[in-house]
Amino acid sequence: MSKRVLMAMSGGIDSSISALLLLEQGYELVGATFRTFDYIKESCMAREKGCCSVESIFEAKKFAESLGIEHHILDFRQIFKNYVITNFIEEYQNGRTPNPCVLCNSHIKWGELLTAAEKFKCDYIATGHYAQIAKHNKHIYLKTAVDTHKDQTYFLWMLTEENLKHTIFPLGKYSKQEIRKIALNHHFEQLAKKSESQEICFIPNNDYRTFLEEQGCKVQQGNFTDNNGNIIGQHNGYYNYTIGQRKGLGIAFGSPKYVTKINAQNNEITLGDYEDLYCKKLIAKKVQIRDRAWIENSPEILARIRYKSPATSATLLLDNNFETTQKAYIYFNEPVWGVTPGQSVVFYKQGLIIGGGVIE
């Protein structure tokens, strides 16, 4: 008897070809596409073409029909708002830069979607992420994808071992070029040429500032300061800026300046030089470690502080009261640039994700 899989389909090439590959491998497939957000202004409606938009939902449904598989549209708008959008707004209001994809994966794709899989009597869920699953010392781990340029394990670090037991990643052993070639070989030319979205799904034009204003965040001007606390200009609301930002400061200096610190409480933003953004230590909260033997035997790890940054050699030390605080300290062997509160730091060993946390 074939295994039944609930395939998360976004309408894009990765999830569509994932569905095709699973069918060719003999799985019984059920397609699912979810609605996560409604744009609230006409100015936003005009740009509603991103992931989870009405357009992409019907593209996914049409592709599922072409494969001859059952397809469902799932309404996750309220829970998406509760977990993802609310956190997104609160983090910016606290002067931090959130990582909504990490929360969406843990609470929506591997929360609500797993619940839906039970409803549709499916044994597994599958997504179009570039990631692999591996066993090591009786534990199940995320493993980096063969295509290191597309590897998406950074966004999946919060997935539990139980989540992974019920997950299939069809694209883990493929490169992006191979996936496009498969689409062409099956005469899905339009799909093969489809461009990738690099944006947050509920902010298609990547204009999070406008989004925050539409959600009721009030712009309140404050001070730009230098490293010594001297006022050097005015900013347009601290949540309009992120660590490492150089463009769009709205003020000219004799040399390039970067956002190096955001003080939400005082509504102040510190500007400095490029070199000021290098550091060798960070503190992480909400830390998860799959198996502490990894760091008890040797605290040396590779740590990644953002999706497109390379994993960097570091030492991982848990807080003395870790069971209560869930804090850890990461000391890098070489300085890293642009450590940003609110983003994830993910820990790797031997190509496996052994844990992660949120940069504090």
Is 114 exposed, middle or buried (CB count within 10 Å of its CB: 0-12, 13-18, 19+)?
Answer: middle
Backbone angles phi, psi at 132, to 5 degrees: -130, 170
Taking the CA of residue 148 as centre, how many other CA atoms within 13 Å lie in the half-sphere pointing to its CB?
Answer: 5
44 is annotated as an active-site residue: no
104 is annotated as an active-site residue: yes
- Determine which one of 51, 52, 104, 122 is catalytic: 104
Torsion of CA 109, 112, 116, 121, to 10 degrees: 80
- Determine which one of 122, 201, 217, 279 is catalytic: 201
Catalytic residues, by residue number, are 104, 201
